[in-house]
């Protein structure tokens, strides 16, 4: 089963990938930061901050930005997934690989067969989401 939807919030909500994708760009901790690279999304006028959902075969991916969705597609497109240790080191030395978003996914979602199917639907969903962003 495949499905996609958006919920809107008054404030920007972080998702499972947010800390790993949107890096603080000021001298504040991530939770207190007001500037990120890449930048945090802007609210949709009259609706609020979008939070994206894509369900594929019983698992729902959550994204606080379309950039996060692009990162997932790029990562899932690799035949061999990068190691969680390598990915966590890119964020900093104090963040263990067990905390990385890729390590938090259910095992079934990281198989090459599942990822190939997921990529196709995620790309379709991304195009639909871009129309309303």
47-75 pLDDT, tens digit per residue, is 999 999 999 999 999 999 999 999 999 99
Which residue did the predictor score with more confidence, 40 or 91? 40
**Cα gap 24→56, rounded to integer Å:** 31
**Model confidence band, residue 132 (pLDDT cutoffs 50, 70, 90):** confident
Q: Any idea of the CA torsion for 127, 10, 101, 129, to the nearest 10 degrees?
A: 0
Measure the CA–CA gap between 74 and 101, rounded to whole angstroms: 14
Omega before 38 within 30 of 0, i.e. cis:
yes
- Assigned token pair, 103: 């390590």
Q: Which residue has the higher pLDDT, 99 or 125?
A: 125
Task: Quote the number of domains for the chain.
Answer: 1
19-39: average pLDDT: 91
Q: Is the pLDDT of residue 21 over 90?
A: yes
pTM (2 d.p.): 0.92
Beta bridge partners of 77: none
74: containing domain: 2-132
Contact 18, 51 (CB under 8 A): no
């Amino acid at each position: 089963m495949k499905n996609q939807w958006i919920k809107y919030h008054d404030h920007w909500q972080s998702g499972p990938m947010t800390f790993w994708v949107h890096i603080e760009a000021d001298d504040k901790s991530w939770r207190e930061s007001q500037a990120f690279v890449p930048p945090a999304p802007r609210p949709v006028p009259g609706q609020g901050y979008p939070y994206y959902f894509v369900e594929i075969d019983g698992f729902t991916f959550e994204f606080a930005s379309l950039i996060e969705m692009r990162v997932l597609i790029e990562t899932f497109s690799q035949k061999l997934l990068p190691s969680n240790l390598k990915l966590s080191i890119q964020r900093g030395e104090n963040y263990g690989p067990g905390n990385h978003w890729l390590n938090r996914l259910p095992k079934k979602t990281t198989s090459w067969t599942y990822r190939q199917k997921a990529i196709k639907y995620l790309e379709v969903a991304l195009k639909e989401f871009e129309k309303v962003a």
